[in-house]
Structure 1
């Protein structure tokens, strides 16, 4: 009789976590939305994928287990968006 072995992976091994973040508008009157995302495990911007849609932000670092998929209450001009990652503060 052949035994069938089924391996079950723990859900925590493949779990993703939502990074801490904040979205705010600039105080100088410009029509600008700023997002800050804390990614303490990330070492380099190369580990991050960021997609900005018309009303959605999708940020992922699959190697570090981060996933953020949120809708924003504004219409975002995608071509005007920029991003950067600060290695010191681990904020993108």
Structure 2
């Protein structure tokens, strides 16, 4: 029925946002193996508007909390997500 379908859509959307949040946290915590595992799902999620907004909000939070200096791989992952968001 329609309620069940809407519930599934909302659950899927929430999962996609959680994947984006987790990946960004892993990147800033330098847990790159975990981030690498999530990247394909993150790049798929970023096709949706809500995930793109989530990405910008999460990056902003990390910048405000700690002015982290990213290594090459961390920077590469952030840039890949931003490029995907801008396409």
Superposed pair shares fold, TM > 0.5: no
| Greater RCO, 1 or 2 (C-alpha within 8 Å, sep 6+) | 2
Higher Rg of the two aligned structures: 1
Task: Return the structure number with greater strand share.
Answer: 1
TM-score, L = length of structure 2: 0.30
TM-score, L = length of structure 1: 0.29
